[in-house]
Amino acid sequence: MSPERTQAYKRVMRTLSEIGPSKLLASEQERVRDAADTLIFGSGLSDEQATTDALADTDELCRDLVASGRWERVTAARLAQDLRGCGARADAEAALRAA
């Protein structure tokens, strides 16, 4: 697990603690937390379906939050980006950029 993934996970948890209770239902907070855990603890190919499902679910949640007017687009985009940063795929993409 890279420092970048750890930082992304911390940002997701900070978002949940700072704005989650006032802007997210408990079930929505749990969905985000479960996705972040799935992504941060995923080890790559063996967990690919779980990570894909977690990202699809949270992407849908972010779209719904924006569509309902409960969240601003920029806030939802930042959460989605931070969630992607939790995953093993983020490490692989960083390695490709460094090569």
At 98 the pLDDT is: 56
* Structural domain harbouring 73: 3-98
Domain total of the chain = 1
What is the per-residue pLDDT across 38-86, written as a single tens digit (0 to 9) for each? 999 887 666 788 899 999 999 999 999 999 999 999 999 999 999 999 9
Task: Give tens-digit pLDDT for 3-20.
Answer: 999 999 999 999 999 998
Q: What is the pTM of this model?
A: 0.85
The C-alpha torsion from 77 through 18 and 51 to 76, rounded to 10°, is -20
